Amino acid sequence: MENRPLEYDYTVAKWFMLVTVVLGIVGMLVGVILAWQMAFPGVNLMLGEGLAEYTNFSRLRPLHTDSVIFGFTLSGIWATWYYVGQRVLKVSMAESKFLMFLAKLHFFVYLLVVVAVVGTLLLGISTGKEYADFEWPIDIAVVVVWVLWGMGLFGLIGIRREKSLYISIWYYIATFLGIAMLYLFNNMEIPTYFASGGIGNWYHSVSMYSGTNDALVQWWYGHNAVAFGFTVPIVAMIYYFLPKESGQAVYSYKLSLLAFWGLMFVYLWAGGHHLIYSTVPDWMQTMGSVFSVVLILPSWGSAINMLLTMKGEWQQVAASPLIKFMILASTFYMFSTLEGPIQAIKSVNALAHFTDWIVGHVHDGVLGWVAFMIMAALFHMAPRVYKREIYSKSLMNTQFWVQTLGVVLYFTSMWIAGITQGMMWRAHDEFGNLAYSFIDTVAVLHPYFTIRAVGGTLYLVGMFLFAYNMYKTMTSARRVEESELQNASPMGA
Amino acid sequence: MDIGTLQAYAYFGFTAFLVVVLYSYIYHLYSAQKKGTRDYEKYGNIALNDEITDQPIEAISKNDEIK
Ligand code: HEM
């Protein structure tokens, strides 16, 4: 047996990186199509009447949400897990054949699920529950994927050399446990074919909950899917990648622990803010509001910790596009965790609910925070896993500005659209008759929908720049030595 | 007292309890650091010294301990 020095094994991390890029482009391309459809309904028929079933808004919308959330974001989370996990635990995947096998199985079963999801959603097979659209056979496969990841996660922790679990590991564990609990409870469903003794399609199911209970479970799930899919694992990333790339240890480790427990404690109670002025008990709505406002504290705890990590090192923000991506991400994190609580205040929610302001909020969070952080993480990982410098720094800078402009156009247009919409819906004359009909609002919103579509298209262009840069990094950039990979990532002109 | 009222009191009590736990934790973190019983800030270096050949900040087995 040859005796090579032990190295980290990034095989599975690389696979997930690839999937992240591909599904990012697919998901956002669908998003851009949706955006143009809302501005110009003719786009619904872009492939002709015959294929309209597959190209209309209602068929594509769940494909967008699921492919960016469960495709792009999740595979990004796993790409970073299979990288960060080894490094902060100081143990290589190569040290355990079993863990390596689990990780590969995790990847391939996940790919199968992706194919099944895309296929069924395009065919219109869906439970009709937002973010829980998958029918029961896919749900079971999802549980298998999750269990495989969990076994790998705790297995790696079990053989670690570093005794203390770095703060990022806490966040990955919370992601695992949080989503496991949420997904299981919200997706409790009854396969109708088997329950009825053979009526209907074998894969069809109905939720075990109904009415107000269904709404409550759904938004407890929905909101916490944001918590444990868009916040917790992305915070895990920034706690590792920003200190590593900048060479500065996190400003206050104690604050990071504190913000962690604060977030865990508060987040789970905030979901009620999706159901304000609905038929759920009033005290739950109030609780949702109050906890949403309190949520600012632990969220800002992490974000400020990140900004303070850069104390005395702000020249790096100007010098490195990679640091720029991360600082902008944490700034957008602060921004959307302030915006969310404002929207959760009852009187504001009365105006904002069901309007485009909510869609604006979603996207300043996911485009500015989630996607920026995931791309920054991949940029940082690329030179280390491919042993080549990042192909082009100027391309990165271009991507940064194109996408930042895209995000700004997206959320500002949706703010204006949302508030206009909200005001028009509630406007009435002296006798209480509504002043506007629905179509009046649609006509007024047209320019803003167009601006949003332009912003989204810019963001997508940035995604292509990102993919090209990653591809070149993978295949043809200058090779680098281990010594160049300490902190700041090496980049070509 | 009906079950709903009971639930509400239990809920409030539990929240208050968790708040106390959280604040005690904060107190513990900062006082342990100050008294020198535990240096939490050194764990920040786990991210920086993360080569497989680096010494663990706090090793699990004695063999990997910083000598
Ligand atoms: C090029 C980038 C993107 C564009 C152009 C885009 C566009 C859209 C559009 C048009 C909608 C439908 C809004 C409606 O029904 O009124 C939507 C919904 C949504 N998108 Fe995106 N999107 C993009 C990226 C993303 C990313 C990266 C994520 C998450 C990682 C995401 C998550 C969501 C979610 C959760 C919703 C549902 C919002 C709600 O129901 O309030 N999007 N997007």
A257 closest CA partner among B18, B50, B31, B22: B22
ipTM reported for the complex, 2 dp? 0.85
DSSP for A127-145 reads ---TT----HHHHHHHHHH
CA distance B40 to A202: 55
Give me the number of domains chain B comprises.
Answer: 1
Q: Is residue B27 part of a domain?
A: yes
CB A255 within 8 A of CB A270: no
Which residues of B are less than 8 Å from A6 in CB distance? Answer: 52
Q: Is residue B33 part of a domain?
A: yes
CA distances (Å), B46 to each of A55, A86, A161, A245, B27, in order? Answer: 49, 12, 11, 14, 24
CA distance A404 to A97: 43
Which stretches does DSSP call E strand in A195-354? Answer: 205-207
pLDDT in tens, A87-130: 999 999 999 999 999 999 999 999 999 999 999 999 999 998 99
Look at the block and give the residue holding tokens 């002109």. Answer: A493
% chain A with pLDDT above 70: 99
Q: Is residue B32 part of a domain?
A: yes
pLDDT in tens, A145-161: 999 999 999 999 999 99
Residue B43: domain span: 19-64
SS3 state at A40? coil
A111 closest CA partner among A70, A156, A83: A70
pLDDT in tens, A300-337: 999 999 999 999 999 999 999 999 999 999 999 999 99
CB contact under 8 A, A254 and B22: no
Shortest CA distance from B28: residue in chain A: A254
Q: Is residue B35 part of a domain?
A: yes
Q: Which amino acid is at A101?
A: F
Q: Is residue B44 part of a domain?
A: yes
Q: Does A243 touch chain B (CB under 8 A)?
A: yes
Average pLDDT over residues A233-238: 97
Q: Is residue B3 part of a domain?
A: no
CA distances (Å), A383 to each of A74, A143, B52, in order? Answer: 22, 33, 17
Q: Is residue B1 part of a domain?
A: no
pLDDT category at B62 given cuts 50, 70, 90 is low
> What is the CA(A31)–ligand 1 centre distance, in A?
6
A385 closest CA partner among A3, A105, A15, A111: A15
pLDDT category at B1 given cuts 50, 70, 90 is confident
pLDDT value at residue B67: 42
- Token pair for residue B51? 């080569």
Shortest CA distance from A8: residue in chain B: B52
| DSSP 3-state percent helix, strand, coil across chain B (nearest 5) | 65, 0, 30
CA distance A406 to A367: 9
Q: Is residue B8 part of a domain?
A: no
pLDDT value at residue A60: 96
Given ligand 1 and candidates A68, A343, A410, which is best to mutate, with the most ligand atoms within 8 Å of its CB?
A68
CB contact under 8 A, B43 and A8: no
Shortest CA distance from A95: residue in chain B: B52
pLDDT value at residue B25: 92
Residue A4 confidence (pLDDT) above 80? no
pTM: 0.94
Average pLDDT over residues A66-70: 96
Write out the H or E segment, with its range, that includes residue A262. Answer: helix A253-267
Residue A402 confidence (pLDDT) above 60? yes
Q: Which amino acid is at A428?
A: H
